Amino acid sequence: MAAGRDEKRYDSTERFTQYGCGQQAVDDATGRSVPGQVNHSGTGAGPGSRPIIRVLSATTVARIAAGEIIERPASVVKELVENALDAGALAVRVDVRGGGLTLIRVGDDGTGIPANEVRLACQRHATSKLASDDLGSVQTLGFRGEALPSIAAVAELTIVSAADDGGVGQRLTLRDGRFVIDEPAPRPRGTTVTVRHLFANVPARLASAGRAQTEIAQIGQTVRRLALAAPGVRISLLIDDRTVLQTTGANDLATTLIEVYGQSLAGSLLPLGPLEVSGARVMGVVSGAEVTRPSREQLNVVINGRWVQPRGLLSLIEAAYRPVLPRGRHPVLALIINTSSEAVDINVHPAKLDVRLLEERVIATACGNLIRTVLGQRPIMLRERLAVGVAALRSPISLAETRNEYDDVAIIMTPGLPDLRLVGQVQGRLLMLEGSAGLYLVDQHRAHERILYERLIATHGGSAPEPVALPEPLLLELRPAQVARFSRRLDDLAALGFECEIFGGRTFLLRSAPVLPGVVHGEMLHGLGEPGELVPALLGLAADDMDGEGWRERLLISLACRTAVRRGRPLDRPEMRALVEGLGRTGAPAVCPHGSPLLMHVSETVLEREFGCE
């Protein structure tokens, strides 16, 4: 038994050593452990030894810190450009070669560094950006004092800086973290930092770096984001001596957004705010529904001058604009939030990409509502050139109205749309209207969808008329597997205005429904919709096993879509007018509940250009 216990104890000790935990030193004469003593071999090879605890060398510490700050060439660019912006630069130039692994050079016209402080700037945790130890008062982009020494640990770093207009500055070069050059050098006020041979002394990091084009793409993305955070600064990016980005520093966010993402945004950007909420001031620009992206890459949030990715805030914003854009599409957005430094925690991410706002949910909700309102009320703009001349004859358009029926007197006036004059119906699906700013086309099916959807939302919120009894109850017959699920939804349906009761077995009766213009009771669009689709839409609820709010949203959208007027149905003039009037009283008259556009504007400028009017 004793031998077994000794053997078991040895196995346990061996496992203890295997997982990297040290043991006390062992006296060679007695074989007993000696408390307080350690094996200084540092190998941990035998059962009676353990690795010594020691302080790492300065070089090793610097390389570890560099690994936390400098992930790839784009990280170097970010740190150096942020330093330039903190120095008050009005012009910043970034030169990159070899994907940033060969050379990165960032020059600026900022305040510069005095000659006697250049060495100090390259020491860890040395910074001029934090006057005290209070992180809550930080007003700058960089503040930890780690960027320059971290870069110097994994590359050759040269700084040339001047703090006055004397024309002479100081040049400092570090190689492997050691100073090799420290001398005066010609330089106007400002700083130029040159980084050569990045990761040359870290072979594994160098080998894992992406292809040059991959690193260039990351650098480009980084510089674009920094440019949006500083629209008043001229920023240029040159890749292998070729200019790929140039901003004018016009201090206009819309102009900078176009310079960063291209001329396709011109004419599509909509202003946001300004808005005051919870001590924060919010403003920005967002692209209209005709210019969207399949990814979230061009959603930009700048908080107190810092481009960030606040995941919670972005999630709430996306949830708000989702109903007014097609599924899987995202706008181009630049959102600027300025608040007190005490209301922002900027020290929650190693690269400072994420921050925490004190009133994040309140601010995010307000931002989301602002974006949703702007997108929901703006018609889609015509993006393609019109077919004119002979080309126009190849696709004839039929108007449902003759000229003598043209309504040139009664103007349709609503709070959500400009004053419009009805022209007629096009191809049995679009309503054509004229306004002071050009022509407007309305998708009749989607317009009715929007009216019905908002009426259902109002019923659920208690701000719509009471439900009305149906002339004849509608019969809903379910499959056995659906009965229990549908029964659980009866109270929820009643809250939406649909009063159902069990009729026996697998059968339910729908006795009343909310007022749905053109479908149930609504006199404004009497007989326009498809009341026979009420039952199939409600039966779809029985097949939906999702819990939470998702099922309700899908039900309302399905009800609105299935019961709305069909495309291809001819409408008389009173019906067309009533449809436009109802649309103009909704909160988002430009998009249907699926997020698809329903209103197109052909501007007066487009018409003049295409037809040569003067």
- The domains of the chain are located at 1-54, 60-245, 252-378
Question: Is it the case that residue 4 has pLDDT exceeding 50?
Answer: no
Q: What is the pLDDT of residue 612?
A: 67
Using a pLDDT cut of 70, give the percent of the chain over it.
Answer: 78
What number is the average pLDDT over the span 408-415? 83
Domain 252-378 in CATH 3.30.230.10:
yes
pLDDT confidence tier of residue 571, bands split at 50, 70 and 90: very high
**pLDDT of amino acid 230:** 96
List, for residues 340-378, the tens digit of each pLDDT value: 888 887 665 555 567 788 888 999 999 999 999 999 998
pLDDT value, residue 13:
39
Average pLDDT on 425-432 reads: 93
Q: Is residue 536's pLDDT more than 50?
A: yes
Inter-CA distances, 506 with 33, 481, 487, 503, 509, Å: 79, 10, 10, 8, 10
Helices (H), 210-310: 212-229, 253-261
pLDDT band, residue 31 (cuts 50/70/90): very low
DSSP-assigned states of every residue in 58-124: HHHHHHHHHHHH-SSHHHHHHHHHHHHHHTT-SEEEEEEEGGGTSEEEEEE-S----GGGHHHHTST
Under 8 Å between Cβ of 97 and 105: no
pLDDT in tens, 312-333: 889 999 998 988 988 889 999 9
Higher pLDDT, 167 or 137: 167
Average pLDDT of 171-191?
92
pLDDT for 240 equals 95
Q: Can you give the pLDDT at residue 554?
A: 85
Q: Is 535 exposed, middle or buried (0-12, 13-18, 19+ CB in 10 A)?
A: middle
pLDDT, tens only, 540-564: 776 666 565 677 888 889 899 999 9
Three state DSSP letters for 2-49: HHHHHHHHHHHHHHHHHCCCCCCEECCCCCCEECCCCCCCCCCCCCCC
Given the structure tokens 């346990």, which residue do they identify?
A: 12
Look up residue 379 and give its DSSP letter: P
What are 470-508's pLDDT values in tens digits? 888 888 888 887 888 888 888 888 888 889 888 878 888
120-134 mean pLDDT: 66
Q: How far apart are CA 319 and CA 324, in angstroms?
A: 10
The CATH number corresponding to 60-245 among 1.10.760.10, 3.30.565.10, 3.40.190.10, 3.40.50.10710 equals 3.30.565.10
* Average pLDDT score over residue span 76-97: 95
- Comparing 68-82, 104-118, 119-133, 452-466, the range with the smallest average pLDDT is 119-133
Percent above pLDDT 90 for the chain: 46
- Most confident listed range (7-21, 26-40, 146-160): 146-160
β-strand pairing of 91-97 with 178-186: unpaired
Residue 281 reports pLDDT greater than 90: yes
Higher pLDDT, 408 or 513: 513
Span 295-310, average pLDDT: 92
CB-based contact 590:372 (threshold 8 Å): no
Which residue has better confidence, 240 or 390?
240
Average pLDDT over residues 160-177: 92
Q: How much is the pLDDT for 147?
A: 82
Is pLDDT at 448 greater than 70 in this prediction? yes
First to last CA, the chain: 109
pLDDT category of residue 50 using cuts at 50, 70 and 90: confident
Least confident of 31-45, 187-201, 526-540, 586-600: 31-45
Neighbour count for residue 123 (Cβ, 10 Å) = 12
Q: Which own/partner contact pairs does 260-266 have at CB distance under 8 Å and 24+ positions apart?
A: 260/224, 260/227, 260/228, 261/224, 261/298, 261/332, 264/291, 265/291, 265/332
Average pLDDT of the chain to the nearest whole number: 82
Most confident of 186-195, 260-269, 380-389: 186-195
pLDDT at position 348:
58
Residue 436 in this model has a pLDDT that exceeds 60: yes
Confidence bin at 515 (pLDDT 50/70/90) = confident
- Its pTM stands at 0.76
Residue 207's pLDDT band (boundaries 50, 70, 90)? confident
Backbone angles phi, psi at 111, to 5 degrees: -70, -20
